[in-house]
């Protein structure tokens, strides 16, 4: 009897934890796709604009030293992935958008940079570090994250994006082969 | 007297704990100001204190309206 109660409690606890995890993931994806962001030229946008592409989303600030080291690398990735179905989007959490713009100009960054401040998505997601990087799949779901800028984790993130791109290439080729065979 | 002493400690410790706050990583812009680093130029640090205390921001030259809100 006691065992059965314990078993049921365990199952219930696991279910609640799993449900909470799913709800959290959904909330995160929802917040990411609907939150209004501002481009450095003042235009409003949302991350939903990047649906259909793999997005590496980087939260950074001009006052954050590791971000200064990391952003040029992310900029290189962004250039390399142009036209391949992936991109890097950098979100500045500086209080003042002007600081972000000055930094971007100084570093001559070409990747899309949006400004949101510290009380926007950063607070909604309660980001655990600066920089903080999320990997979103083509549907805007969070499929990976890097807290901080550990070189090994950043390299792993790049490999993951490359494998996602490669998988996409394979499935596209397969689809083309299948449709060609059926004709 | 002993009872009061106990309350004194409880209130004192509570007050101390109330002064603690967790600063989230995205709230650290002011803490990341170069003036907050240990190696910051001592003269600059003193100038900042002086300006804040005297409400004389900009008095030693540079930008500011003397409101102490640098």
Residue A2: predicted pLDDT: 59
Distance from the B34 Cα atom to the nearest Cα atom in chain A, whole angstroms: 9
Cβ-proximal residues to A52 (8 Å cutoff; 6+ apart), any chain: A85, A138
CA distance A60 to A75: 13
B6 vs B35: which has the higher pLDDT: B6
Residue A180: predicted pLDDT: 47
Q: How far is CA A87 from CA A56, A102, A115, B2, B67, in A?
A: 6, 22, 17, 68, 45
DSSP per residue over B7-44, as a string?
HHHHHHHHHHHHT--PPPGGG-TTTTSGGGSTTS-HHH
For a pLDDT cut of 70, what percent of chain B falls above it?
71
Per the prediction, chain B carries an average pLDDT of 77
Residue B49: predicted pLDDT: 78
Distance from the A146 Cα atom to the nearest Cα atom in chain B, whole angstroms: 14
The architecture CATH gives domain A2-176: 3-Layer(aba) Sandwich (3.40)
Q: Are B26 and A130 an interchain contact pair (Cβ–Cβ within 8 Å)?
A: yes
Cβ-proximal residues to A49 (8 Å cutoff; 6+ apart), any chain: none
Q: Are A61 and B27 an interchain contact pair (Cβ–Cβ within 8 Å)?
A: no
A142: part of which helix (H) or strand (E)?
strand A142-147
CA distance A180 to B2: 91
Q: Are A63 and B26 an interchain contact pair (Cβ–Cβ within 8 Å)?
A: no
> pLDDT tens-digit profile of B29-58?
988 887 776 666 777 777 877 888 887 776
Interface predicted TM-score (ipTM) of this complex, two decimals: 0.72
Q: Domains of chain A: which residue ranges?
A: 2-176
Record the pTM: 0.71
Q: How far is CA B34 from CA A13, A105, B6, B37, B57, in A?
A: 47, 21, 43, 6, 18
pLDDT tens-place values along chain A, 183 residues long = 556 776 776 676 666 555 555 555 567 888 999 999 999 999 999 999 999 999 999 999 999 989 999 999 999 999 999 899 999 999 999 999 999 999 999 999 999 999 999 999 999 999 999 999 999 999 999 999 999 988 899 999 999 999 999 987 666 556 555 554 443
Q: Domains of chain B: which residue ranges?
A: 34-58
């Amino acid at each position: 009897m006691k065992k059965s109660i314990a078993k049921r409690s365990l199952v219930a606890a696991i279910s609640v934890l799993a449900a909470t995890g799913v709800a959290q993931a959904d909330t995160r994806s929802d917040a990411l796709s609907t939150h209004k962001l501002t481009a450095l030229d003042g235009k409003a946008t949302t991350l939903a604009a990047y649906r259909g592409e793999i997005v590496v989303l980087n939260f950074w600030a001009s006052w954050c030293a590791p971000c200064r080291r990391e952003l040029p690398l992310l900029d290189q990735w962004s250039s390399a992935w142009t036209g391949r179905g992936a991109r890097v989007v950098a979100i500045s959490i500086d209080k003042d958008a002007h600081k972000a713009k000055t930094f971007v100009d100084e570093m001559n960054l070409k990747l899309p940079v949006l400004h949101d401040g510290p009380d926007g998505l950063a607070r909604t997601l309660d980001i655990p570090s600066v920089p903080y990087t999320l990997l979103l799949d083509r549907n805007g779901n969070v499929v990976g994250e890097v807290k901080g800028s550990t070189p090994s984790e950043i390299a792993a993130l790049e490999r993951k994006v490359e494998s996602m791109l490669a998988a996409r290439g394979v499935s596209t080729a397969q689809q083309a082969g299948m449709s060609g065979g059926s004709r | 007297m002993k009872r009061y002493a106990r309350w004194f400690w409880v209130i004192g410790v509570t007050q101390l704990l109330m002064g603690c706050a967790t600063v989230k990583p995205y709230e650290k812009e002011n803490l990341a100001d170069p003036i907050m680093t240990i190696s910051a130029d001592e003269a600059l640090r003193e100038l900042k204190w002086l300006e804040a205390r005297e409400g004389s921001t900009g008095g030693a030259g540079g930008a500011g309206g003397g409101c102490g809100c640098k």
